[in-house]
Structure 1
Amino acid sequence: MRIPVVWSPVTREHQPRHEVWVGVPTVGTEVPERVDAILAALAEHPLHEAVPHDDELLEVVHDGDLLAFLEGASAAWAAGPYEELVGQDRVVPYFFPTPALLAGMEPHPATALHAQTGEHCYDTMTLVGPGTWAAARAAVDVALTAVDLVVEGARTAYALCRPPGHHVTPRGYGGSCYLNNAAVAAEALRDAGHERVAVVDVDAHHGNGTQAVFWERADVLYGSLHVDPGAGWFPHVFGHADEVGGGAGEGATRNLPLAEGAGDEPWVAAVEDLAGWVSDAGCTALVVSLGVDAAGVDPESPLQVTDAGFAAAGRVLGGRGLPSVLVQEGGYDLGSMGAAVAAYLGGHGEHGGAA
């Protein structure tokens, strides 16, 4: 079954240039070519260009200060001395007002932009450039257009979002993510009348941002399978099995960390576990955070999932029969990621794509 593919050419405009890892500039992996690698592999599916949406649901997911910062950060940085002084034309933090620094005291607002950045960004890997806001905002429109197609009758729609988004919390960005596309899609499905929505995250890394957005809510379930952060993997301090939600959302979060080197069998078994959990909870719509960086050849994780594994996961989640929005997250090996996405869509589409 062919699944409608939603994309926007504007998502190519984010150019990270490089990342800063343990103080060293390294070549960026979340590059515009990811969009074209996926498009080339999905030629058999109908293509839809995203249409603009207002900010209403984006503002439900994210704090206004974060949105304002991201929209204006690059222009403010370019107006400052950073490129002339140190050759840095991308917005990158160097100072983080952590609880250890604050020590219970009430801080004054930072005035320097390079210090303000650390109030919003929680790592040094996620740089902001001239096209970052436009691309990230277009990715939100991609996700919302995919929701529109599902609401209008498609069983499943795929949102080719770039940059990805599942690491973005209500107030902070990081992990090569700027706006949380999957969380906005879940909010849109709720807004369309689904009383309980599930987000199942199959990216190789835990989606700490999506977990944070829905942590205290029972109307959106968040379930994730990912490489064990306890083995030293991003996001390090979240994604452990004992994280189950808080307040009204207790029990609506589920984490299944996997050992380094895990391949198809344990990975698909974890997908089956989460699929059963979603069904038992009575969810009527599904968002899949479709990262494919669990692939064995991907440089960003130690998992060893094959295309057959991705196809099997698609069959498992598609087999639940829920209206589904598939939101692209990670996947960084340009030679293989398109095939992995196509394999997942092929599996999911066995149970219904377009209406």
Structure 2
Amino acid sequence: MNQYRMPVVWSPATRGHDPQHEVWVGVATSGTEVPARVDTILTAVTEAGHPVHEAAPQPDDVLARVHDPGLVTFLAEAHERWSQGPYAELVGQRRVVPYFFPTPAMSAGLPLRPAAAVHAEAGRFAYDTMTLVGDGTWEAARAAVDCALAAADLVLGGERASYALCRPPGHHATPAGYGGSCYLNNAAVAAEALRAGGHDRVAVLDVDAHHGNGTAAIFYDRADVLYGSVHVDPGAGWFPHFVGYADETGAGAGVGATRNVPLPEGAGDDLWLEAVGGLADWATAQGCSALVVSLGVDAAADDPESPLEVTAEGYRAAGVALGGTGLPAVVVQEGGYHLPTLGGLVTAYLGGHGETR
């Protein structure tokens, strides 16, 4: 058995986002999506022998096909607008936190205007209070996009697979919204880049513990990019709560191009790997010529966000299953928050994906 050393793409700018804390049910709690994630993973993949490349800045054209320009502009400008306001002096808050959300229940059909105050305008784009914007957030999120694009370029250039060490993660970022610790959708950008590079049909397969509502929304009415996800059942009270159910299969031209496999809490390796294998078979049966793997390792047993109790061996086996499709793949980092085991889980997956017989 030979071992393929998957090239890794990263950027030092991805360390710059420091959420400091999250606001959950009105309480400031310690952030889990911390800068140390980057170095923990980088050390592990380097020690495992994967060649490491630093991403160069990439143009905005692919990003513009994924996200509404209003979201991109807001994220680029939000912290500067916040810092010009009274928030640090009045309440000691140096990060952008929405407090007001113009939901349909609020507007009740009335016409909406842009809010003058940034603490209200933030609620136009953010859909939770956990995803704060600090002074390095935009630069980190944009650098994560660069990593995804550079990894896609490697695959388009002939590599059988590449790994984008993206941070912050992205699969909860919708066309015009951010949340779930995600700001820009790195996996969707990678899929669009593969499409632009000549792949007629691409599958995004998401193994994060939570449903990637953002990726699902971006491609929900399209047939050229499939979205398949295995995740903890949102009906059991897990994020993203309102979506991620098995009967969500796409709309319009995209009917049948979305597949959700919600699992019960504590599912463990057997049920999880059965679902991963099913998604791999589905992607190949649907005629996809390339994969994007949203690699969240927060389904692992030690993870503070974990409801599924997947083991490191489970992640290795998932890599074998998805690598076994024979399709060129861009692997994009999503969740995974337990620093002592994070690097080992990522390298377990990469090692499995790179196995050849």
Q: Would the TM-score normalized by the shorter structure come out above 0.5?
A: yes
Distance 1:113 1:38 in 2: 35
Q: Does 1:154 align with 2:176?
A: no
What amino acid sits opposite 2:19 in the alignment? Answer: P
Q: Which amino acid aligns with 1:112?
A: A
Residue correspondence of structure 1 range 196-215 to structure 2 within 5 A:
196-215=201-220
The unaligned stretches of length 5 or more in structure 2 are none
User: Amino acid of the residue matched to residue 314 of structure 2?
Assistant: G
> In structure 1, what is the equivalent of residue 132 of structure 2?
127
For the residues of structure 2 that align with 1:18 and 1:308, how far apart are their CA atoms? Answer: 32
Structure 1 position 351, deviation (Å)? 3.5
8 Å contact kept, 1:321–1:351: no
The size of the alignment, in residue pairs, is 352
- 1:92-171 correspondence to structure 2 within 5 Å: 92-171=97-176
Residue 61 of structure 1 contacts residue 184 of structure 1 at CA under 8 Å; is this kept in 2? yes
Q: Are residues 1:227 and 2:229 paired?
A: no
TM-score, normalized by length of structure 2?
A: 0.98
Name the counterpart of 1:339. 344
Does residue 60 (structure 1) correspond to residue 65 (structure 2)? The answer is yes
Deviation at 1:112, TM superposition (A): 1.0
Q: 1:286 and 2:294 equivalent?
A: no
Q: For residues 340 and 15 of structure 1, what CA distance do their matches in structure 2 show?
A: 23
Give 1:249-328 correspondences, 5 Å limit: 249-328=254-333
Q: Which SS does the other structure have where 1:176 is aligned?
A: coil
Moved over 6 A (4+): none
SS at match of 2:340: coil
Partner of 1:41: 44
Q: Percent of pairs identical after alignment?
A: 69
Distance 2:104 2:98 in 1: 17
Give distance in 2, aligned partners of 1:40 and 1:51. 20
Q: Distance in 2 between matches of 1:319 and 1:337?
A: 24
The alignment yields a C-alpha RMSD, in angstroms, of 0.7
SS in 1 for 2:75: helix
Q: CA offset at residue 102 of structure 1?
A: 1.1
Cα drift, residue 87 of structure 1: 0.5
Tell me how far apart the structure 2 counterparts of residues 311 and 39 of structure 1 sit (CA, whole Å). Answer: 18
Query: 1:146 offset after TM fit, Å?
Result: 0.4
Q: What is the CA-CA distance between 1:303 and the residue it aligns to?
A: 1.0
2:74 corresponds to which of 65, 69, 79 = 69
Could you list the per-position Cα deviations for residues 111-165 of structure 1 after superposition, in whole angstroms to 9, with x for gaps in the alignment?
1110000000000000000000000000000000001111111000000000000
2:25 aligns with: 22
TM-score (norm: length of structure 1): 0.98
Gaps of 5+ in 1: none
User: Are 2:354 and 1:349 aligned?
Assistant: yes
1:258-288 deviations in Å (ceiling 9; x for gaps)? 0001100000000011011001100000000
Measure, in 2, the Cα distance between the counterparts of 1:38 and 1:109.
40
